[in-house]
Each structure stands twice: as C-alpha cells, then as structure tokens.
Amino acid sequence: MPAPPQTEAEKKALLDLVLMNEKKSDEAMSFYERVERVELLKNIGDPQPGDIKVSRVVPAGTGVDHIPIGPDGKPVDTNAYRADLVKLEHALSWAADDGHAQHDAYDKIAKKQKERDDLIDATRTAFLYTFVSTETRAGRVLYKYSMEPNPAYKATSRTTSIFAKVRGFVWIDPEAGQLARVEGEVTGDITVGLFLAKVYKGSHFMQERYEMLPGLWMPSFSQYDFDGRKLFSTISIHERTFYGQYHRIGPPKEALAMIRAELGKPGGAVADR
C-alpha cells in the first residue's frame, strides 16, 4: 500500500500522542481487574503448552493479587476461592488505611511508576521510526513503522542502555493515537540484574493491544521467548499471556467495598471498618 501523506512534524505529533496514551493506559492498569491466561511452553512453536495458569488479577493498592480460577473463568474450589477473596480484602483494607507504612509503600509505587513513564518516554528518542506500510486489523487502518536503535541516543541508565540491542516494529492506530502492536528482537546479548543474568541474542517479544474500554487500550495478548543465563544456569522462557474481561475496580477504598459486597458482608463501604 502507498505511504500515507505524513510530514516529519505530523509523525512526531502522532508518536508523542501514542506515548502519552500508552502511559495513561499503563497507569490505568492499577484500577482495572482482569482475567489472565498464562501458557508456558517448553520450546518455541510447541502446539500445546506444558502448563496453563488462569487467574483473576486484582490491583490491591500496593500490589496485585492473582486469584487462581479454572479455564472456564469460574472457581475450581469455592472454599479456596473465598479464602483468597478474604486475603484480598485484608490487603485492600491495609492499603486503604492512612498511616506511615502506607505512605512509604505508595511513595515506592509512585517512584516505580515514574521510572516506567521515563522508560516509555525514552523510547521516543532511543529509536528511529520509519514508515513501512499500512495494514488493516478488525476494520481499522494501522500504520506500521520499523523501530531501529538511534545511534545518536545516549543511554541514561542500565535499563535504557538495553535499547541499543533491540530492534523491531510498531503498529499504530492513527485515528485513536494508540499503540496497537509491538514486536521486538534482541540483536545482542544483554546483561541484566547486576551482571547475574543475561538475555541472549535472538530473544523475541510482542504485544497486541485493543480498545478494551472507551478510550483505554489495554493488552490483549503478549508473548515472550527469551533464552539466556541466570547465575550459572541456562534459562529458557516461552510464555504466552491472554488478557480479557477488564473491569474497573478502582483505588483500594472502592475495591474494598466491591470485594466486601462480593463476600456478602453487610455494608460494603470502607467507613464501617
């Protein structure tokens, strides 16, 4: 297909908008529960996963709770499921409180969120984006760009230095200004974790994103195929994750009321603690 009429200024504005929306969606993940199906494969291309884990994933203020469920989305053991909900209630009750420990925990979370935002911002200058083609997905036109390391980029941390050894493609929905898909490949061995682990050249990752809720594009599928070394052991990670059934549960006070109502406790409001 012919390239769409797009000046450098228009491309820059589109990429800046995509990064802004990506950060919004990333932050929104802290307020939306979802169902995740994780499939673990022994080798790339295996027709059947070696292990499958399905869980209800619920943000709990200072962490994320994974409650196991069956492949049909229902509890396998109702007693165990209720016990997990009670544990979640306790975690949310603690997170909804206002004390020094909570303030410290939220400060750490805010720091990590800023680090993620800075990392997303860094991808804007760490890579050079070149238009490749247009593609259609679910009736919507996407712009496909190649993503190559920018030789002029100066890494500011050990994490951003990884970008020099990654290349791939991004697909953007220009009408929504959203990232629809990203694929990347590791082009050289990467050392991580204070030199105690290494990801080998040829490792691959990808993620698909859709508009799960009005204005919010969330992950629908991701895949990681990493080979490497941890300490003195070889590691091989081949993992596929399917995301769905997004539902807003809100910050801890709102989430606590909802979980208490689900448990059938009288008066779901936090005020009755």
The residues spanned by each domain of the chain are 8-272
pLDDT(272) > 50: no
CB 35 within 8 A of CB 57: yes
Can you tell me the mean pLDDT for 224-231? 86
Give the separation between CA 255 and CA 273, rounded to whole angstroms. 14
Each residue's pLDDT tens digit, 84-126: 999 999 999 999 999 999 999 999 999 999 999 999 999 999 9
178 versus 233: which is more confidently predicted? 178
Whole-angstrom distance, CA of residue 262 vs CA of residue 238: 35
Cβ 200 vs Cβ 165: under 8 Å = no
What does the pLDDT look like over 160-214, one tens digit per residue? 999 999 999 999 999 999 999 999 999 998 887 655 678 889 999 999 999 998 8
User: What is the Cβ-side half-sphere exposure of residue 174, based on CA atoms within 13 angstroms?
Assistant: 18
